[in-house]
């Protein structure tokens, strides 16, 4: 009887995925801001200012999501789940910025959700090959082969 295989996303790929997401968000901010700042200034400011919150959010939300998705072998579902998490985080962060009872523009909230969702999707896609596929015994799936059947 074979054991179910799982996808394991450990600390290093999670860190690299958060960094890739942050860089993707910086590139999206360049597109949104236009020529207000130089493109490199926008990317560097996004990475420097957003590094601590990005890694905190990766630890708070990304790691539990990766643990929940371990039994699911299809990595495309992982990518979609991380993108959906980014959209939810974008909507939540924009709702938190609403102050004084003002109503946020739905287009603004949707663009923030799409930017964070797309950046988290890019981050998860960037660590596709770093995610380890294991069986329940901890050995890589490529090493575990079913026994040969004698004829």
Q: CA–CA distance from 93 to each of 96, 110, 112, 143 (Å)? A: 5, 12, 9, 44
pTM of the model: 0.73
pLDDT band per the 50, 70, 90 thresholds, residue 140 = very low
Reported as a single tens digit per residue, the pLDDT across 58-111 is 888 888 888 888 888 888 898 999 999 999 988 888 878 766 555 667 777 788
**Residue whose token pair is 């997401």:** 21
Q: How confident is the model at residue 5 (pLDDT cuts 50, 70, 90)?
A: low
**By mean pLDDT, which of 18-27, 37-46, 56-65 is the weakest?**
37-46
Q: Residue 10: is its pLDDT beyond 80?
A: no
Q: CB of 18 within 8 A of CB of 54?
A: yes
pLDDT number for residue 103: 61
d(C-alpha 120, C-alpha 78), whole Å: 11
The domain segmentation of the chain, as residue ranges, is 5-131
- How confident is the prediction for the chain on average, in pLDDT? 77
């Amino acid at each position: 009887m074979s054991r179910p295989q799982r996808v394991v996303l450990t600390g290093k790929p999670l860190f690299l995925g958060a960094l890739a997401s942050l860089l993707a968000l910086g590139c999206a901010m360049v597109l949104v801001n236009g020529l207000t700042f130089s493109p490199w200034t926008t990317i560097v400011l996004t990475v420097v200012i957003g590094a601590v919150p990005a890694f905190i959010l990766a630890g708070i939300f990304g790691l539990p999501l990766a643990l929940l998705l371990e039994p699911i072998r299809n990595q495309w579902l992982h990518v979609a789940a991380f993108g959906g998490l980014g959209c939810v985080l974008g909507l939540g962060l924009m709702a938190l910025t609403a102050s004084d009872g003002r109503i946020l523009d739905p287009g603004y909230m949707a663009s923030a959700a799409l930017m964070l969702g797309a950046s988290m999707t890019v981050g998860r896609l960037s660590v596709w090959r770093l995610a380890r596929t294991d069986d329940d015994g901890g050995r890589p799936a490529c090493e575990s082969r079913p026994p040969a059947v004698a004829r």
